[in-house]
Amino acid sequence: MNDQRNTTEIVQASIKRRYAKEKRFRLYGLIAIISSLAFLAMLITTITIRGLPAFTQNFIQLDITLDQKTLGLGDEPDISALRKANYNGTIKNSLLAEFPDVTKRKDKKLLYKLVSKGGQYDLQKKVMADPELIGESMTVWLPVGDDVHTYLKGDVDITLPEKKRRFKDIQVGWIDSLQENGQIAKRFNKTFFESGDSREPELAGIRGALFGSMLTLVVTLALSFPVAVAAALYLEEFAPKNRWTDLIEVNINNLAAVPSIVFGLLGLAVFINFFHLPRSAPLVGGLVLSLMTLPTIIISSRAALKSVPPSIRDAALGLGASNLQVVFHHVLPLAMPGILTGTIIGMAQALGETAPLLMIGMVAFIVDVPTAITDPATVLPVQIFQWADLPEKGFVEKTSAAIMVLLAFLIVMNALAVYLRKKFERKW
């Protein structure tokens, strides 16, 4: 009797401590989740804050006289002369006309930096489209230089001594006076989506990388989808249980966990050094990525096939269908939504992959937009990697903006996968 009361007392005494422990434990779990999610939020906000300015671009309004002398053109210029004409000179002249009191060479150099090097290409395009413009004066909006963009964004600390910053006081004065006259405007940055890579941050765009990614993904999908579905069908529906199929299964599970860079080494040694396929091409990138995504798609396709109830198979067999007819006419169509979901997730994984593509030389500096799967190309994640390495400040925002585009694609793909799963989900 005495003993029992003792036990109760002991329990009673300890119960407060145990409940406190319980509470603490629960709190730890909550903290773990909240801090992980907080990190996610932090990651996305910092990148958005950094990247948003890259979607707009500032323009300067200038009166430009396209006189033949400055352009260096004869009376009847042909196309190549038009292409090579000195458009930069006309821009410089108009800047000097805007600020007539600039005379020192050093100041002139600073003045010319107000307009981006891309300005001359804009002029070139206009003149090539309409050669009648030569000799005329016109008002154009030209993109500002990188330093001006940084200043207008508010990223230049003008309280610093002048020597310590790239953007000088005199330039600040010019920009402020232009702003007062309404000669500076902010617009949507079309260049970012319309041009390829460049060494100048304000001219660099992601079009080349986007097309490279698209071509690579097309190759990946074309190769990995049929092969993965075939493999899953065999393993799930037909494979006898023997050593060979066991070996295949172990292999697939292992390949799913092999580091992606190893697939890059495989691509380099086999596709490039042995088969002599072109370096940096979406073809090789697609081959490597499809080998990498195969296990993912196979595993999810098998899960989808497994969820089709055996009664469907039995019914079809009972009506006299052959084994393959059962699978291709009944099981596969029913499993298709699940297979497609897995495929989309595999493709999203392939879209974000960088390391194996570095191995097969997709890191080259490529300005042209690729049009075929054998053209040298780069892809969006690799472009991000390259830009992240560049020292110019302008590239930080370009990198963040490119990341935003990449994440947007991934979100769309994953949302599509979730939608497909929800829409076609069937409870048997």
Partner 1 sequence: MTISLLLLVIFILVALGYTIGRTRAVKRFRSAERERRPHSLPRYYGYLVALYTLIPALVVIVLWGLLESSVLTSMVSRQLPEDIQSLPEGQLKLVINDIKNLAVGNISSSNSDPIRMEAADHFSGLLSKSRWAKGIIAIAAALLGMFFGLRSIAPETRARILVEKAIMIFLIACSSLAILTTVGIVFSVLFESLRFFGKVPFSEFAFGLHWSPQTAIRADQVGSSGSFGAVPIFAGTLLISVIAMLVAVPFGLMSAIYLAEYASPSMRSWAKPLLEILAGIPTVVYGFFAALTMAPMIRGIGESIGLTVASESALAAGLVMGIMIIPFVSSLSDDVITAVPQAMRDGSLGLGATKSETIKKVVIPAALPGIVGGVLLAVSRAIGETMIVVMAAGLAANLTINPLEAVTTVTVQIVTLLTGDQAFDSPKTLAAFALGLMLFVTTLILNIIALRTVRKYREQYE
Q: Which is nearer to partner 1, 97 or 222 (CB)?
A: 222
Q: Tell me the window of 72-80, 123-131, 142-150, 318-326 that interacts with partner 1 (CB under 8 A).
A: 318-326
Residue 342 CB, shortest distance to partner 1, in Å, is 14
Applying CB under 8 A, does 239 fall inside the site for partner 1? yes
* Strand order through the sheet with 184-188: 137-143, 56-65, 184-188
Applying CB under 8 A, does 412 fall inside the site for partner 1? no
Applying CB under 8 A, does 309 fall inside the site for partner 1? no
Q: Which of residues 373-392 bind partner 1 (CB under 8 A)?
A: 381-382, 384-385, 388-389
Q: Which is nearer to partner 1, 55 or 234 (CB)?
A: 234
DSSP 237: I
Applying CB under 8 A, does 30 fall inside the site for partner 1? yes
Contact 348, 220 (CB under 8 A): no
Applying CB under 8 A, does 235 fall inside the site for partner 1? yes
Amino acid sitting at position 321: A
Taking alpha carbons only, the member of 115, 95, 121 closest to residue 205 is 121
Tokens at 342, concatenated: 């897995």
Q: Tell me the window of 59-67, 114-122, 230-238, 330-338 that interacts with partner 1 (CB under 8 A).
A: 230-238
Contact 316, 329 (CB under 8 A): yes
Applying CB under 8 A, does 321 fall inside the site for partner 1? no
- Whole-number Å distance between alpha carbons of 92 and 82: 18
Applying CB under 8 A, does 339 fall inside the site for partner 1? no
- Whole-number Å distance between alpha carbons of 148 and 117: 13
* Alpha carbon separation from 71 to 77, 134, 145 (Å, rounded): 11, 9, 22
Contact 171, 148 (CB under 8 A): yes
Applying CB under 8 A, does 214 fall inside the site for partner 1? no
| Binding residues for partner 1, total number by CB under 8 A | 85
Count other Cβ atoms within 10 Å, centred on residue 354.
18
- Whole-number Å distance between alpha carbons of 204 and 284: 25
Residue 352 CB, shortest distance to partner 1, in Å, is 3
Tokens 């050093």 belong to which residue? 106
3-state class percentages of the chain: helix first, strand second, coil last, to nearest 5: 70, 5, 25
Applying CB under 8 A, does 106 fall inside the site for partner 1? no
From 260, 312, 390, 420, residue interacting with partner 1 (rule: CB under 8 A): 260
From 91, 111, 217, 233, residue interacting with partner 1 (rule: CB under 8 A): 233
Q: Tell me the window of 25-33, 80-88, 107-115, 162-170 that interacts with partner 1 (CB under 8 A).
A: 25-33
Applying CB under 8 A, does 410 fall inside the site for partner 1? yes
Residue 260 CB, shortest distance to partner 1, in Å, is 7
Applying CB under 8 A, does 334 fall inside the site for partner 1? no
Applying CB under 8 A, does 408 fall inside the site for partner 1? no
Q: Which of residues 62-101 bind partner 1 (CB under 8 A)?
A: none
Applying CB under 8 A, does 8 fall inside the site for partner 1? no
Applying CB under 8 A, does 255 fall inside the site for partner 1? yes
Residue 355 CB, shortest distance to partner 1, in Å, is 4
Q: Tell me the window of 78-86, 89-97, 113-121, 287-295 that interacts with partner 1 (CB under 8 A).
A: 287-295
From 6, 8, 273, 371, residue interacting with partner 1 (rule: CB under 8 A): 273
Applying CB under 8 A, does 406 fall inside the site for partner 1? yes
- Whole-number Å distance between alpha carbons of 221 and 227: 10
Contact 234, 331 (CB under 8 A): no
- In DSSP notation, 247-292 reads HHHHHHHHHTTS-HHHHHHHIIIIIITTT-PPTT-HHHHHHHHHHH
From 248, 303, 317, 336, residue interacting with partner 1 (rule: CB under 8 A): 248
* Residues in CB range of 340: below 8 A, 6 or more apart: 417, 420
From 262, 277, 303, 390, residue interacting with partner 1 (rule: CB under 8 A): 262
Q: Which is nearer to partner 1, 205 or 361 (CB)?
A: 361
Applying CB under 8 A, does 49 fall inside the site for partner 1? no
Applying CB under 8 A, does 358 fall inside the site for partner 1? yes
* Alpha carbon separation from 384 to 7, 198, 218, 219, 392 (Å, rounded): 66, 13, 21, 21, 14
Taking alpha carbons only, the member of 330, 319, 315 closest to residue 237 is 330
